[in-house]
Structure 1
Amino acid sequence: MRSVREAVLARRSWPSVTDAAPTDAELAGLLEAASTVPDHAALGPWRVIALRGEARRRLGAALAEASGFEGDAADKLAAKPLRAPLLLALVAAVRPHPKVPAWEQEASAAGVGHLLALLLDDAGWGVMWRTGPFTRHPAVARMHGLAEGEHLLGWLYVGGRGAADRPQRRSDPRIADRFSALT
């Protein structure tokens, strides 16, 4: 079994996946692990919505509606959710709380999304977190059935890895610029 550090360093975004996808039962097990993120006051300020089959087409239609595009541009945007057999909509479910501000609840929800992406990758699935300019458009929220106080953080596009080579690890030469220590 590899260490957490090894799993994190091995993670890659898979922009192209096959039609294989994890079952709902497999996802439930991974979500159990992802739900261990820091969560001040145990609010559970997140949920995940699995979109398969026709739900992906409805999302495409909502994206096209949100864009106002017509013709080929609308068709191209509507086809994006069909790039993977499973999309996992990551939802921040923020609620008023005297000690836990909205930003902290959103951070917890984003943590669930990140851990879920790591867990899916570690389980052998191709995963890519996608967003876009219409992620928080009302038409897209309606398609997902979001309640007041809920908003999308994006989607994990999930599928099989296929025969493609594992994407290369991105190195970031600016790490030194992003770390400092105060004494």
Structure 2
Amino acid sequence: SEQSEDQFEDLWHSLCEGSDFLVVDTPGRDDPFARTAAALANTLVTPMNDSFVDFDLIGQVDPETYQVTRPSFYSELIWDARKQRARADGTTIDWVVLRNRLQHIEARNMRRVSDALAQLAKRVGFRIIPGLGERVIYREMFPAGLTMIDAKAFGSMGLAHVAARQELREMMAALQLPEVVEQVPGVAA
């Protein structure tokens, strides 16, 4: 209902107060809360595996040529959110498609998905960045609730840890999030 969406927006604004970033995970379907969150976001990250199953969320391809035939509903949802945002405050949403769980061996399907993403990016205006590769280290850390940021929990780090941490740093840099500058009390920025 519209009242629930208004309450969600109020909650959004209260959560943003005093926060550097707010991360909201929304479903990959047309959902009123996903629409509201997209319209309020400064940066929208869509993680995607190298698969046409995942690609179908944002675009459709010809099954024989693998050329993009049209954007899918989610791209249209983001387009609508961008228009709403521009009307509301004149700003835009930085939409980033993050290629996730990338294989370290380039396969034909990986190239096809990459080409389709590049075509669709030109059409609907998102940036493509590499996410995290398919690494055993991530699967080993998951049950313990750890990430590469939790380096102190590892003790000594092996080569896999170092490579995974570098991959995480590169992904974060590619997101191009605004820098968080710590405010010193009594000093204006």
Check whether TM > 0.5: no
Please tell me whether Structure 1 or Structure 2 has the larger radius of gyration of its CA atoms. 2
Higher relative contact order (CA 8 A, sep 6+): 1
TM-score (norm 1): 0.25
TM-score (norm 2): 0.24
Q: Counting helix residues as a fraction of each chain, which structure ranks higher?
A: 2
